[in-house]
Amino acid sequence: MLAAALVAACSIPAAATGVFRAIDEASLRIVQRGSLSLPRGFTGPGGAEVPLTGLSGITRLDDDRYAAVLDNSDVVVLFRLSIDDEGVPVDASDFRLLTLDERHDHEDLCPCPPLLAQRLSGRGVGDDEALRGDCLLVCEEDTPAVRGVSLADGATLGMLPLPGPLRAPQHNRGLESLAVDPDGRHVWTTTEEGIPADGPPPSDTAGTVVRIARLAIGDDGTIDESDTRQFGYPADQPHGFVRVFAGVPLSGVTAIAALGTGRLLVLERSGCPGLPPFEARIYLVDTAAASDVSDVEKDLAARRDRLLTKRLLWKEQTGSNLEGLCLGPELPGGGRSLLAVSDNGGLGTPTQLVGLVLDEQDRDARTPFAVGMGLVACAVVIARGGRRPR
């Protein structure tokens, strides 16, 4: 449980959802700026050591305050992060523990929009009474569910209604991503891989088609199910690799970030039983004029005419398993910082925060991302017999 001081410190003001400035999508690029290794753990309440491992999602609360969720746990980590003017993460501090009241395979999280927070907290919309420490939204793939949880004590405040197809995912490939629009009126989520009814899982030669769901928040703070939309997203096939051990390659969506007006950044991750073990890709999609596939009950992968068009902004092959992505602050020199987080899968390698910049200029500056750590992770993965990433 968190002290009352933490309740005040971790409230989410509306300023956290400031709209990203108008962009020229034709010239939009993502450049890599640097990385930061997080400590292996921190001291929690009562002096207990809290390991920082298995981080699957990250979100910005406001200013320099962030939150990350650990998979297969009941743990959310709250911390402060300093980012320099170039978008490089330089220091993480003030780590605090938020214990959720239920343990699940949590995969992502985002701030709870004000209207929804008021409704989940049992307040009337527009009520000036303080909320229950404000709330976060977290998604998990074992139920599956998207829950609102209190930042005061981790208690579950309520669950969001999900479209039927997202409630029947492939095992261990369910709800993986969560984001909220800058104006707080839509929540976005998707599965990591396509649901069984829509087509086969990815293979060496083929990708997978997932459904991205947009949940609309009405003026009364409830999810307007009549305004829920689904979009078909074609994830790439697994990257090319040199096989080192037995196993099946995978590829899918591990995170999304919402830019507003239907535009999304989509983080894909592929993992293979060989070298290089992982590849990360970030695509831009625009759903504003895209086809709503809510009426497609099955075999969505075969409906290529109904799928989103995507544009590659960034790709990297390293030894790191990137699973989380969120928007950071706008930078003084232009552009918007992005933060990605790696899930070390309990392999003993440090968890990395990767600094990226979303900009309209194709800048030449590029900082190699933890090449040494990538090689170490490769060796550890091989030694461990190819542990399957979460």
What pLDDT, on a 0 to 100 scale, did the predictor assign at position 24?
62
What pLDDT, on a 0 to 100 scale, did the predictor assign at position 347?
58
Q: Are 141 and 156 in contact (CB under 8 A)?
A: no
For the chain, what's the residue count?
390
290-299 contacts, C-beta under 8 A, 24 or more apart: 290/231, 290/262, 291/231, 291/232, 292/229, 292/230, 292/231, 293/211, 293/230, 293/231, 293/232, 294/163, 294/228, 294/229, 294/230, 296/232, 297/197, 298/197, 298/198, 299/197, 299/198, 299/199
- Closest among 145, 38, 164 to 100, alpha carbons compared: 145
Count the neighbouring beta carbons within 10 Å of the beta carbon of residue 262.
Answer: 18
Verdict on whether the full-model pTM lies above 0.75: yes
Low-confidence ranges of the chain (pLDDT < 50): 1-20, 124-132, 362-388
What pLDDT, on a 0 to 100 scale, did the predictor assign at position 10?
34
List of domains in the chain? 4-12+23-383 (2.115.10)
What pLDDT, on a 0 to 100 scale, did the predictor assign at position 170?
83
186 φ, ψ (degrees, to nearest 5): -140, 140
